[in-house]
Structure 1
Amino acid sequence: MIADIIRFGRFVETPLVDEKMFALKQMSRFRNALVSNMSDLKRKALVVLDQTFPEYQSIFSDVFGKTSSQILLEYSSPSDYEQISIDDLTQIIEQTSRNRLGKKTANKLMELASNSFGVTFCKNAFSFQLKMLMEQIRFIEDQIKECEEEMSQLLIDLDTPIMTIPGVGPILGATILSEIGDIHRFDKPSKLVAYAGIDASVSQSGQFESSGTSISKRGSSHLRRALFQAAITAHKHDPVLKAFYEKKRKQGKHYYVCIGAVARKLCYIIYAILKSNKPYEVPPHSPVET
């Protein structure tokens, strides 16, 4: 193309990617990578914890919640509890849980630590690993929060109606919007559905052709994942999507097949509001389509 410009003076107009939209896409994918990394670290931390203090998880509903995380950072093996008084442990628990938990939890923790069946062989090495893993998890959690703040600001700047759809918050909204990009690239909603890879796949065998309930999984996997996540929430809160989902279930369709159908319908809604740049409104007396 550059050679043509030099030789013949041909200038071809190329659409410039909106900088903020591109930035949003980069931030969204970076956040997804951080979340994936954190999930991996949490799995590793649980493996170590199961070896050193297997009873610990019976105390906290969320091992990686604020209170539990702080305790594991300071006391990563059962033997560490020998160095702390019940009052000091209670204070840590009360402060980090905002008084939702207290001495009862501290007593239970001390009791389990003193009678733990966790391995004592190489306990210092395991304790070191767990502490390092918890520090990494906390660091990535902070990075994710910063990333989400940047994404929220970019969404505000883009002034999009995407979040007027029930089930689409700032994170899913950012992913959906940025993965779609310029909606005018698609001249009809079915092309957006195909781009997301949630159109029905067609299988062929000899003279037989079958369009089943599976999806093609072409296009953007990031967009497809976000649409499915949005569909899971939206079908509970939007009356049109709820009725559509329930009709599919009554037809005997599997849960995930129904969610896939909701995601496709959601794609049509997203196409309409982005094309018109108007907020989503539930149509009065909307028919439930098949």
Structure 2
Amino acid sequence: MFYIGIDIAKHKHEASIIDSDGKLLCESISFSNTQKGCEKLLALMQKFTVTADNCIIGMEATGHYWLSVYSYLLEFGYNLNVINPIQSDSFRKMYIRQTKNDSKDSFVIAQIMRFGQFSSTSLSSENIMALRQLSRYRLFLVDECSDYKRKVICLLDQVFPEYSKLFSDTFGVTSSELLHKYPTPEDMLSVSTTKLTNFISKCSNGRFGREKALQIKEAAANSFGVKFAADAFAFQIRQMLEQINFIETQLDELEVQITTMLFEENQVITTIPGIGNILGAIIVSEIGDISRFDSASKLVAFAGLDVSVKQSGEFIGTQNKISKRGSPYLRRAIWTAASRAAFCDPVLSDYYQSLKTRGKHHLTAVGAVARKLCNIIFAVLRDNTPYQPMPKN
């Protein structure tokens, strides 16, 4: 049997081939992250009569750079294993101690394959991968939109600090339209009360009228905002509002696509309290095949919601925090769902309130609910059956 370790990088990979005794067949080779590079690796394997039937190949999940090599070798039927770099750290220390280079890393990965002491990350189905791509893209757009909103607030704090008191939602329809047309106090004062009244009445479908227009006028007239560089502030506010509107339109389209794909892939995840279509899509796509986890505790660890214990000798830390290892996307989705479930599911709500009664901080209690929610998610996905809330006694 032969074992091949591939150290993944952006442009060039390194590969080492060892036999059943752990002996290198030759010096490690470097090959580019291209089809020609992979052909170079295959040529070396053929030289030593390494085939799909007599070898195991391992590589670390380094960013997204391993996907192309994985996909290429998979087509030839090779036994491929993708491992988390954390798993190879202990082996790396044992073999190379304080030194590190690509050839030694690929050798260590090959040895891990030989000993078989690893858990492999399997490539998800095409539908799950597509759902994961879209779900992560949505999180990116949400964060970007939030960033633009923070920047608009920052600009308003400088040019019109009183504006935040005029509307309950600065980025609601009426407020956004008003800021886009009249982004500074001077702009709002330059228009007549009647025209301003008609404008906000139209934007709000008659909800706001003359009284709101007078309130805006008064706030603008007494604003303590900066008076210089008004045109620069106005220009930035308008452009950022346009960007926010564009991103929100994209999000609407994206969420329809995500919801459609989720219903095609999984029908039970949204029966769990606190989990809607979007959070369900993130959770399902990040977990992938639930059979990868033989217990709920392993899913909790994969989400990084397990508690890290600090212990030295007889000292055991009492202020422990979650490990935050594993998928940050999954952890974020489950945490958000737990924040909702703690107030809408009878069992989880009782559990949250009992922790609060014992003096636990809100975030500590939510973290505990998140771990319980992981157990529910594990059971629902494992059995592929809808969640049945337990009635209160």
Listed as ranges, the matches of 1:234-273 within 5 Å are 234-273=341-380
State the SS of the aligned residue for 1:120. Answer: coil
**8 Å Cα contact 2:135-2:282 kept in structure 1:** yes
**8 Å Cα contact 2:346-2:390 kept in structure 1:** no
Q: 2:161 aligned with 1:66, yes or no?
A: no
In structure 1, the residue matched to 2:385 is: 278
Among 223, 239, 243, the residue aligned to 1:136: 243
- Deviations for 1:39-93, whole angstroms, at most 9, x for unmatched residues? 2111211121122222222211111111100000000112223443323222221
Among 175, 179, 182, the residue aligned to 1:75: 182
Percent sequence identity over aligned pairs: 47
How many angstroms apart in 2 are the aligned matches of 1:118 and 1:43?
Answer: 18
1:165 Cα deviation from its structure 2 partner: 0.9
Q: 1:120 to 1:154 in 2, by over 3 A?
A: same
1:232 Cα deviation from its structure 2 partner: 1.0
In structure 1, the residue matched to 2:51 is: 8
Listed as ranges, the matches of 1:76-155 within 5 Å are 76-155=183-262
State the SS of the aligned residue for 1:109. Answer: helix
Q: Which moved more, 1:155-164 or 1:112-121?
A: 112-121
How many angstroms apart in 1 are the aligned matches of 2:232 and 2:389?
Answer: 58
In structure 1, the residue matched to 2:286 is: 179
Q: 1:8 to 1:19 in 2, by over 3 A?
A: closer
How many angstroms apart in 1 are the aligned matches of 2:323 and 2:286?
Answer: 18
Among 151, 154, 157, the residue aligned to 1:50: 157
Q: Which moved more, 1:245-254 or 1:69-78?
A: 245-254
1:159 Cα deviation from its structure 2 partner: 3.0
1:209 Cα deviation from its structure 2 partner: 4.1
Give 5+ residue unaligned stretches, structure 1. Answer: none
TM-score normalised by length of structure 1: 0.91
Q: 1:208 to 1:115 in 2, by over 3 A?
A: closer
Larger helix share, 1 or 2: 1
State the SS of the aligned residue for 1:201. Answer: coil
In structure 1, the residue matched to 2:303 is: 196
How many angstroms apart in 2 are the aligned matches of 1:159 and 1:196?
Answer: 20
How many angstroms apart in 1 are the aligned matches of 2:293 and 2:318?
Answer: 24
**8 Å Cα contact 2:346-2:392 kept in structure 1:** no
**8 Å Cα contact 2:308-2:320 kept in structure 1:** yes
In structure 1, the residue matched to 2:111 is: none
- Deviations for 1:142-201, whole angstroms, at most 9, x for unmatched residues? 122222111111111113311001111112111111111111110111100110111121
Q: Which moved more, 1:48-57 or 1:9-18?
A: 9-18
Q: Which moved more, 1:200-209 or 1:235-244?
A: 200-209
TM-score normalised by length of structure 2: 0.68
Q: 1:219 to 1:84 in 2, by over 3 A?
A: same
Q: 1:212 to 1:121 in 2, by over 3 A?
A: closer
Q: 1:284 to 1:76 in 2, by over 3 A?
A: closer
1:131 maps to amino acid: R
In structure 1, the residue matched to 2:127 is: 20
User: Highest relative contact order (Cα 8 Å, sep 6+), 1 or 2?
Assistant: 1
State the SS of the aligned residue for 1:198. Answer: coil
Among 22, 29, 34, the residue aligned to 2:136: 29
State the SS of the aligned residue for 2:206. Answer: coil
1:210 Cα deviation from its structure 2 partner: 4.4
Q: 1:52 to 1:9 in 2, by over 3 A?
A: closer
Among 267, 271, 283, the residue aligned to 1:164: 271
| Greater Cα radius of gyration, structure 1 or 2 | 2
State the SS of the aligned residue for 1:214. Answer: coil
1:21 Cα deviation from its structure 2 partner: 1.2
- Deviations for 1:266-285, whole angstroms, at most 9, x for unmatched residues? 00000001011110001356
1:239 maps to amino acid: P
How many angstroms apart in 2 are the aligned matches of 1:86 and 1:13?
Answer: 74
How many angstroms apart in 2 are the aligned matches of 1:8 and 1:221?
Answer: 37
State the SS of the aligned residue for 2:321. Answer: strand
